[in-house]
A and B are shown apart, each in its own frame.
Chain A
Amino acid sequence: MDQSNTFNLDNEINQWFGEKRTNPSFTASDREELKCHLYEIIDALIEKGLDEEEAFVVAKMRLDIDSEMEKEYNEGNKPILQMRRSLLILAGVLVYFMLYYFILSTSKILIIALQLNDVSKTVTIEWVSRYLLTWHFLIAIFFVSLYFLESKTINFIEKLKLKPKGTIALLAIAALLAIIDTCLFPIVKNMLERNIPVLSILYQNYNYFEFSFP
């Protein structure tokens, strides 16, 4: 089969740059600039009489990006990379609070739902206790998996492209969940008819959850 018929220059270039897409040392602008440079070399080589495939092979060699150069790119992009890392750390803190308030507010929604279905107060508290324990169990599994899947986790975090808008959205969601949680608490107290023994068990559950939340 004639290879020149199957060679697609754009696909080959995209494939070559795909490997660099996941490399955090390069910004999107760097990749686009390198791609333009590669096309310029290829055009010049084609003008000299090479076919597309030959020109692509030569151009790749001329635009060789070794580990030393990656380091230099990394150095040059330090301000952007540091900003990206700061955003990731901030996003991590916000996700922590989002999860915390999500669990608390959904536990209160669970109490309201059970009370609306005429479930006894003691059973309701037992369900809330189970719900909180389940979350604890899931979070523990998540942290253990982080330990065992360290390299995959690091790869995943490095591939995350978080923009300031995304971080603001996370902050808004965390704040919204905190407000919902605060607003639901008086409703829950009223539904449990201010029953002191039941409320004290509920408080104990929440206290336990707040102290032991990782």
Chain B
Amino acid sequence: MKSISKELIGASAAPLILSILRSGDSYGYEIVQRVKEQTGGKVSWNEASIYPVLKKLENSGMIKSYWKVNDTERPRKYYTLLTDGKIQLEHNKQEWELIHSVFQNLWNPA
């Protein structure tokens, strides 16, 4: 399979980030790696492009960032999912499930 189109990557970026953050706080590099793992490398973001999306999510109050600094690790900016983000994720989930079911019906008619 060819890699996924730019438009679809753009549309799925925010729900993907929110889904990853649902399982725990994470930082930019780790989020990119998790998406790569989950999609077997078929979703290949320009790695810096995640940050404007994170910024938009943060500005709209769905996630919150904080710097984690300790002696043993590199300083990292972590993101945490907020209540508005959880609500948005549920909404996104319903949307994607609806689209998925529409395609299922169209491609596999009973």
Contacts and interface: CB of A to CB of B under 8 A. Distances in A.
Interface of A: 29-30, 32-34, 36-37, 39-41, 62-65, 69, 72-73, 75-77, 79
B51 A34 contact: yes
Interface in B18-36: 27-29
What's the dominant secondary structure at chain A's contact region? helix
B29 A76 contact: no
Contacts of A34: 48, 51
A21 B46 CA distance: 21
B29 A75 contact: no
B77 A39 contact: no
Given A36-B29, A37-B29, A41-B29, A69 B75 contact: no
Contacts of A75: 52, 56
Most buried by A among B28, B46, B52, B75: B52
Given A37-B29, A62-B47, A76 B77 contact: no
Interface string B97-109: 0000000000000
Interface string B44-59: 0011110110011001
A75 B59 CA distance: 11
B74 interface: yes
A77 B51 CA distance: 11
Interface residues of B, dominant DSSP: helix
23 contacts: A29-B77, A30-B51, A32-B77, A33-B28, A33-B77, A34-B51, A36-B28, A36-B29, A36-B74, A36-B75, A36-B76, A36-B77, A37-B47, A37-B48, A64-B46, A69-B46, A72-B52, A75-B52, A75-B56, A76-B52, A76-B55, A76-B56, A76-B59
A79 B59 contact: yes
A63 B48 contact: yes
Given A32-B75, A36-B76, A69 B29 contact: no
Interface residues of B, number: 16
Contacts of A76: 52, 55-56, 59
Nearest to A39: B74
A29 B47 CA distance: 17
A33 B51 contact: yes
A36 B68 CA distance: 12
A76 B55 CA distance: 6
B13 to A, nearest CB: 11
A26 to B, nearest CB: 10
B77 to A, nearest CB: 5
Nearest to B28: A37
B77 A63 contact: no
A131 to B, nearest CB: 51
A69 B77 contact: no
Contacts of A62: 46-47
Given A33-B28, A76-B56, A69 B74 contact: no
Given A40-B74, A73-B51, A75-B52, 4 more contacts: A30-B51, A37-B47, A37-B48, A75-B56
Nearest to A43: B74
